[in-house]
Chain A
Amino acid sequence: MTGRMSSSPLILIVDDSAVVRDAVREALEADGIRTLSASDGLQALDLIRGGDDIGMILLDIDMPRMNGYQLCKLLKRDPAYNRIPVVMLTAKRNESDRAWGMKAGADDYLTKPFNYARLKEIIRRLT
């Protein structure tokens, strides 16, 4: 085992914090996983509609212009995109925050600081 995944899904990281985006990107790319980044929901939506074959979305919640719940709900209601797995990655730890995320259609919900092994396991399961 080299630690590389057998296939290399393209993962879209959406977070308004450049520090978080870079940390997640570096960790994933070290494992041979390709990534794209966006700093808010609207920018993410442009990338998703841009035609890249996105295998999964790692989605922060509190962001300007379009928050993570809004983007998730929009994608899950759209037959063209509702099969893309969405994993919320957020500092919002209350049970109601998680419940609202699952209602929006999220496939999983991780709280920061995230455990990389757990994230990898989720990527393996969902992509």
Chain B
Amino acid sequence: MTDRELMLARDRIHKACGLWFQDGRIEFLRKKLEVRIQASGAGGFRQYMAVLKNENDKSELERLFNALTVNETYFFRIPGHFRHFKEAFLPELMQRKAKEGNRSVNVWSAGCATGEEAYSIAISLLEAVTFPSIWTLRVLATDLSTAALIAAEQGEYGAKSVGETPEAALEKHFQRNGSRRRIGDAARRLVEFEYANLIDGQIHERFDAIFCRNVLIYFKREDRTETLARLHDALLDGGMLYLGASETVWGQTDKFEAVSCGESVCFRKKTG
């Protein structure tokens, strides 16, 4: 593949699904494209571009999208986020809500892939609340891969996914299924999986916290700014935004304040 072809492919992919590959990640794109061109049997670059342009069959575009966004994910990834969420953010939030007589907590896992993050949030909610039955706890988990969503709903994971999960949480919130672990009903009941896109304005509710980790890295700068504005709108005042380790709001919006959480950082929506 020539450099010119690679640039053409980069623009085509951005146009088709909004993913953007910065210069620093362009060789990753080249490698993945070469694999897909080969695997699809398209015969060459030009033929492959024609396959991607087919408005009536988006299956190869989806396979490429999945290959390009494949993310290493596991339960309680970035432990500092979950410690902060469970031990600092939720107790304060619940105390305030209890006083207001509003016993509901709504959290969004945006870009949930196969569900590890969403269920980690659900487990944290269950562990932060003394009497879960008097609260309405909900996690909306969205992704653009229906294959990932179906796996997420099944909620069954191998050893690698639960490797960082504390033993007590494993015992309490999972069932054994041979060498695999299945998420327990209490956590599962809190999570609703939905197919939705971050930039098309398909989410019409508001959240106490949003986890959107390792999603913005795939966006062009202007799309990132727009997405951050949408995430800001979707948060209630004082709501918390957890981004991936290499992502930030700095330089793009001043509507959040940074909060330190262990080895990482999260962002609180400023009030007013």
Contacts and interface: CB of A to CB of B under 8 A. Distances in A.
A93 interface: yes
A99 interface: yes
Interface string A63-83: 111110110010000000000
B196 A91 contact: no
Interface residues of A, number: 21
A92 interface: yes
Q: Would you call the interface of chain B mostly helix, strand, loop, or mixed?
A: loop
Contact of B56 (A69, A70, A91): A91
B247 interface: no
Interface string B224-260: 0000000000000000000000000000000000000
B62 interface: yes
Interface size of B as a range: 10 to 19
A64 B195 contact: no
26 contacts: A63-B200, A64-B200, A64-B201, A65-B201, A66-B204, A67-B200, A67-B202, A69-B194, A69-B195, A70-B194, A70-B202, A91-B57, A92-B62, A92-B146, A93-B58, A94-B59, A94-B146, A94-B147, A96-B145, A96-B150, A97-B62, A97-B146, A99-B146, A100-B149, A100-B150, A100-B195
Interface of B: 55-59, 62, 145-147, 149-150, 194-197, 200-202, 204
Interface of A: 61-67, 69-70, 73, 91-94, 96-97, 99-100, 111-113
